[in-house]
Structure 1
Amino acid sequence: MNDELVKPTEIAIKDSKQMINGQVVRAAIFARSEIFEVTTINNESYYLIYYKNAFIYGDKVEGIEEGSFIDHAFQQGVVFESQHTIMSELLPKSSVTLPNKNKLFAQLQNQYDLQETAYIATTLDSFFTRDHIIKVVNKILSYFKRGGKYFKAFQVLQILTAFAPDLQSAKDRFNSLDFLSYKDFYKSSDWPSIQQKDPLYVERYCFEHRFNPEERNLLEDVLRQQDRLFELLLLWLEKAKREATVDTESLKLYTDIAAQFVSKEAWMLMLEQANINPFQQLSEAKSVIETLIQEGYYEQAALHLLDFIDDLPDNYDSILDSLWTNLNAAFIVSHLDDFILVIEQFPHNDQSQSEQKIRQLAVKLLEKHEVNTVHEKLTPIKTIFPQSEVIRDIDHMAGLTESPDRMMELGQYYAQFQQYDAAIDCFSWEMELHPQHATPVEHLSKMYQHKGMPEEAAAYQHILVELKKF
């Protein structure tokens, strides 16, 4: 239901030949990388890779290979689907230009240090062959080794072995005496020491093991130290959804962080999408809803509330009453099961106003359903408004459908509920049964007048005049 509150996130992809417009259908965050899956109007899938919020590369991909970086990111990363409120905040820009594929790695080396370039290369295995990426990483590895920077070379070697664990040449180098001391460093040192020497490794490792308390705490500390509060917020949203509970102190902390990036209403919706009831736990939630109502955004306010209608604080009665009074019947009908819970929540002091609303509901329901179905759908409301004349009329109509000799009466009820086509069917049936009777003809003329069809109304009026001559 919250999906109705979220607009799709669109992006334009430019290459040397054309502009492709698409919609982001999901996104994954994996350590410092972000991956966006985009579907075009032709149902083609494009994947865009970002590193530290900067666009790296993207292209059309017909199928994601199992075990590729993109596959791994969507399996093991923090994933948001298209209808998540955070999506528009995740995407840095509304358009990207695809870089020249042949010049990409040279450009990356000008923008990032070589260790980062090696890692970024391994995230692009859906666009470049495995051998090409291994060649790029090996060149960086050899560069460090030739320059005597063996620790840097080992860091790149770890990236290579993670990318291609079955590559024998990488295995042999990894286990060689040249790198033995560096292997021991990673095994025996504490996290702060490793973080100082190899922050990229620590962040990747802790992200992949973020559901372990020690690694998660370290990852959060890293993000705080670097003032990467938005990423911290994403991790918290993932955790909140997994656990479906949050403590008051944590909620307050991340509400303050969220305020730096999104509106109060957007934050409230993010909590809803994490299956957290903001109306029980977020003090600002009630004022957000009241503001929406004051500004006339009744449907928007209702969509926030409906998922939590059976778990609202007692002081929401006036809000529910206002929504019942002001929402149009078409919207209520489209969420009728939820609104049955709504109208059970508060006292109905103005019976005439409720009767008017029930009539509007009946009209909308009859536009889409047979009268017996409308009867069934209104039955729960009957228990709340047992004296409703509208529901009594619907009950009576349902009984008349089983009596072919009472079509005249049924047609009059349909006319009462502005269902002129159904009424015409009933009066036409009656006219065929009793061709000498003037009453069904008179009603048919009126129905066509109501439908704005003067020629048909005049034709039946002419028949009526002829019948009255006899």
Structure 2
Amino acid sequence: MTMLEILYQKKKVRLRVVQLTAYKQMKIVETHGKNGHTYYLFCYKSHFINVKKTAAVHLHSFLARALREGFTFSTDHVLTNIFLQSKTAYPLITNNQMVDKLKKQFSATERLYILAMFDNYIQPQKIQTLCKESFYQYRRNGQLKKAFQIVLHYHNALPSDSFANDMLQHTDFQKYRTLYADIEQLAAGWSDPLYLENYIFDHHFPHSFIKPLFDQYGIEERAFDQILLYYCQHDSLQDKLSLDQLPFAAYADKIQVSFWSELLPSHRFTRELMEQLLSLGAYDAILDYFLQTKEQPIELDLLDQAAPHVSADFLAKRYQQILPLITSLYEDHHQLDQLLKQLVKKLLSSTALSDLLACIDHNELPTVQKLRKIKQLTDNPDQQFVLGEIYYELGQYDKAIACFEWEMELAPDDTSPIQYLYKSHLANGDKEKAQTYQQLLATLPSS
């Protein structure tokens, strides 16, 4: 469960994260407090703006539209974790404090655009008054383009506002309406990034605009937005970007593995992506992809690098798919047997021998023969030394120790089981017991 802290009345309050919503430039985190209250955390581009305690979401507010039309991710989603990786406590400030803060950080156009996004908390008439002040000031100064942009962006945040709608249709702004109607020309110079970003979002990410938008995010140092855009639009971006263009440098390998593991099932196979996953140690994700893909041949050199390092937990859950897959792919029996041996070492401690053999018993590989031998000798008290040797070779040191201890009791003068007990305990990480058998060996005559 993801948590965050806010500063409220000089006290830190821990809140449970419910979801993250990304809508245009705004990221909105819904959280719940212990008392059942709902708080929304608002971030604009890469800037934290405010936290708002929220009793209700008004039907026609920007917040309602964002929650309805934005990209939403659960509390445990990798993008939520990436976005909230900072341990900062976020301050809840008053509306007046927020207005003062915005004046210091943003131009008049962006300041009004951001305030319009808080119409769930500020009376729209108050925001409209601020809009009129800036609009008429620019207009009186003959700065008609800036006046037009004020109401244009304000309208994007509050499309039902009557003042913005009236001013956008005024004859003074016909030239700018014509300019903005030619979206291709506007995009060629990327002359109004804020408007273009809104246009791209509202028109469901036209293919030709996605890479320029990604580049604009880079110019504005909006690393999370680049990662978010790639996640949501990777079909359009993966052929236009190398993976090192994604701004993951600030994030831990674990975060990157989670990102690619989440995205991999819907991502077209690329050699670069697999090599990236290998470098991050995402072996389970690679094996999972190979198990699911039916569209193309599996590259054995990638499988060679990933399969030996797959986690024991993943292997135990998927061995009934993994073992038949690898035995069907390799023509080189020696190479196959070496890989199979590594996997069997991980499986024997958690998987029944009969279940393992059921997957691979049709092969005559040395490792398979050893497994059959184990099954044959398990209940034979006269063959415990041979059984112990097989267990030792397959890395089952506890089972090997039990066999050699039995054999040592039957033949106390034979140094061979003692030597194996020394090696088995050493391999098992028990240096103290290994030393005991080493000392015992020193007291016995050589056989």
TM-score range, shorter chain: 0.5 to 0.7
Q: Structure 1 residues 357 and 217 mapped into 2: Cα distance closer, same or farther (>3 Å)?
A: closer
Q: Matched residue pairs, number?
A: 349
Deviation at 1:115, TM superposition (A): 0.8
Alignment of 1:342-353 (within 5 A): 342-346=322-326
Q: Is the 8 A contact 1:141 1:153 kept in 2?
A: yes
Q: Which residue is 1:68 aligned to? A: 61
Please state if 1:271 is matched with 2:260.
Answer: yes
The equivalent position to 2:288 in structure 1, one of 287, 291, 306, is 306
Q: Structure 1 residues 92 and 388 mapped into 2: Cα distance closer, same or farther (>3 Å)?
A: closer
Structure 1: tracts of 5 or more residues without a match: 1-7, 293-299, 364-377, 393-470
- SS of match in other structure, 1:345: helix
CA distance in 2, matches of 1:160, 1:318: 54
- Give CA-to-partner distance per residue, 1:51-106, whole Å, 9 cap, x none: 23121112232444444323433444454433333434323732211122333223
CA distance in 2, matches of 1:21, 1:172: 45
CA distance in 2, matches of 1:381, 1:61: 60
Aligned AA for 2:83?
A: L
Q: Which residue is 1:53 aligned to? A: 46
Q: Which residue is 2:273 aligned to? A: 282
Q: Which residue is 1:191 aligned to? A: 186
TM-score by length of 2: 0.63
Q: Structure 1 residues 344 and 104 mapped into 2: Cα distance closer, same or farther (>3 Å)?
A: same
- Give CA-to-partner distance per residue, 1:242-262, whole Å, 9 cap, x none: x4x875x545x1334345343
The equivalent position to 2:312 in structure 1, one of 312, 327, 332, is 327
Deviation at 1:132, TM superposition (A): 3.4
Q: Which residue is 1:93 aligned to? A: 86
CA distance in 2, matches of 1:193, 1:307: 39
Q: Is the 8 A contact 1:14 1:20 kept in 2?
A: yes
Deviation at 1:114, TM superposition (A): 0.9
Q: Which residue is 2:76 aligned to? A: 83
CA distance in 2, matches of 1:91, 1:77: 18
- Give CA-to-partner distance per residue, 1:212-265, whole Å, 9 cap, x none: 13433542453354454553343122112xx4x875x545x1334345343555
- Measured on the aligned residues, the alpha-carbon RMSD in Å equals 4.2
- SS of match in other structure, 2:27: strand
Structure 2: tracts of 5 or more residues without a match: 328-335, 363-370, 377-447
CA distance in 1, matches of 2:59, 2:357: 52
Aligned AA for 2:102?
A: L
Q: Which residue is 2:132 aligned to? A: 138
CA distance in 2, matches of 1:92, 1:124: 25
Q: Structure 1 residues 211 and 162 mapped into 2: Cα distance closer, same or farther (>3 Å)?
A: closer
Deviation at 1:310, TM superposition (A): 4.3
CA distance in 2, matches of 1:180, 1:174: 9
Provide the identity percentage.
20
Q: Is the 8 A contact 2:261 2:285 kept in 1?
A: no
Please state if 1:121 is matched with 2:115.
Answer: yes
Deviation at 1:47, TM superposition (A): 1.3
CA distance in 1, matches of 2:168, 2:270: 55
Alignment of 1:356-375 (within 5 A): 357=347, 360-361=350-351
Deviation at 1:121, TM superposition (A): 0.7
Q: Structure 1 residues 27 and 308 mapped into 2: Cα distance closer, same or farther (>3 Å)?
A: farther
Deviation at 1:136, TM superposition (A): 3.1
CA distance in 1, matches of 2:212, 2:285: 38
Deviation at 1:16, TM superposition (A): 0.8
Deviation at 1:211, TM superposition (A): 1.9
Q: Which residue is 1:341 aligned to? A: 321
- SS of match in other structure, 1:211: coil
- Give CA-to-partner distance per residue, 1:181-222, whole Å, 9 cap, x none: 4333323583168744x4432332234335213433542453
Q: Structure 1 residues 339 and 66 mapped into 2: Cα distance closer, same or farther (>3 Å)?
A: farther
Q: Is the 8 A contact 2:50 2:90 kept in 1?
A: no
CA distance in 2, matches of 1:140, 1:246: 39
Q: Is the 8 A contact 2:15 2:31 kept in 1?
A: yes
Q: Which residue is 1:29 aligned to? A: 22
Aligned AA for 2:259?
A: M
Alignment of 1:401-412 (within 5 A): none
CA distance in 2, matches of 1:277, 1:125: 42
TM-score by length of 1: 0.60
- Give CA-to-partner distance per residue, 1:140-166, whole Å, 9 cap, x none: 323333444333222222234334444
